């Protein structure tokens, strides 16, 4: 059985990180543009990333959830709403991972800082990614692959235990 095709997405109105089998990238939007243009740019970039040449849609998208008590919650809520509806309409399954769960998986600490995350991705996975959006997106993708039996690195059991905090849907004929 082949590995599931999973992408990780760290949604943000200013810099959305997307990690696919082809690599990581950041989709930037211009603050001077209307919010509707920025939202559609992000939606289109995520949807484009879910379609792989000759294969069709990916098996699963993993989104970093947002903290509702954050100052940016209303803006992030708009971004999440637009992207989630687009994924549902396209029939692409997605799962939400809380930020602390992602941090625990990547670093071993649920309260890790952005530099901690970047260093852990470099040390554990050998990737020196240029921004925290890509780091988070990569971490989400790595979590998903690990949950479905295709780990990208050998992590300590305490870090892998964070996989149990997420309800993983059946993907590619297998359950997580």
Structure tokens at 21: 């089998």
- What pLDDT does 69 receive? 77
Which pLDDT does position 161 carry in this prediction? 95
Q: Give tens-digit pLDDT for 20-67.
A: 988 999 999 998 998 899 999 999 999 999 987 556 789 999 999 987
Cβ pair 168, 105 in contact under 8 A: no
Q: Collapsing DSSP states into helix, strand and coil, what is residue 63?
A: strand
108: left (phi over 0), alpha (psi -120 to 50) or beta: left
Q: How confident is the model at residue 164 (pLDDT cuts 50, 70, 90)?
A: very high
Least confident range from 10-14, 51-55, 141-145: namely 51-55
Query: Which contiguous run of DSSP H or E holds residue 61?
Result: strand 60-64
Q: What is the mean pLDDT of the chain?
A: 91
What stretch of H or E contains 28? strand 23-28
Which of 67, 71, 48, 50 is closest to 59 using CA atoms?
A: 50
Q: Which fold has domain 6-98+130-156?
A: Nucleotidyltransferase; domain 5 (3.30.420)
3-state DSSP call for residue 138?
A: helix
pLDDT digits (tens, 9 = 90+) for 60-117: 999 999 877 777 778 888 999 999 999 999 999 999 999 999 999 999 999 999 999 9
Give the residue carrying structure tokens 């509707």.
Answer: 36
How far apart CA 31 and CA 114 sit, in angstroms, is: 23
The model's pLDDT over 152-162, given as tens digits with 9 standing for 90+, comes to 999 999 999 99
Q: Domain-by-domain residue ranges, the chain?
A: 6-98+130-156
DSSP 33: S
* pLDDT at residue 66, as a whole number: 85
């Amino acid at each position: 059985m082949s590995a599931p095709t999973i992408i990780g997405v760290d949604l943000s109105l200013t810099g959305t990180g997307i990690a696919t089998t082809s690599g990581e990238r950041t989709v930037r939007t211009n603050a001077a543009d209307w919010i509707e243009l920025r939202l559609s740019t992000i939606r289109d970039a995520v949807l484009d990333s879910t379609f792989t040449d000759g294969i069709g849609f990916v098996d699963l998208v993993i989104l970093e959830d947002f903290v509702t008590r954050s100052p940016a919650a209303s803006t992030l809520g708009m971004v999440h709403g637009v992207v989630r509806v687009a994924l549902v309409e396209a029939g692409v399954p997605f799962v939400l991972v809380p930020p602390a769960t992602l941090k625990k998986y990547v670093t071993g600490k649920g309260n890790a800082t952005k530099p901690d995350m970047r260093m852990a991705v470099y040390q554990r996975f050998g990737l020196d990614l240029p921004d925290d959006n890509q780091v988070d997106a990569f971490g989400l993708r790595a979590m998903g692959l690990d949950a479905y039996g295709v780990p990208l690195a050998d992590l300590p059991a305490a870090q892998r235990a964070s996989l149990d905090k997420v309800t993983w849907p059946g993907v590619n004929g297998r359950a997580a």
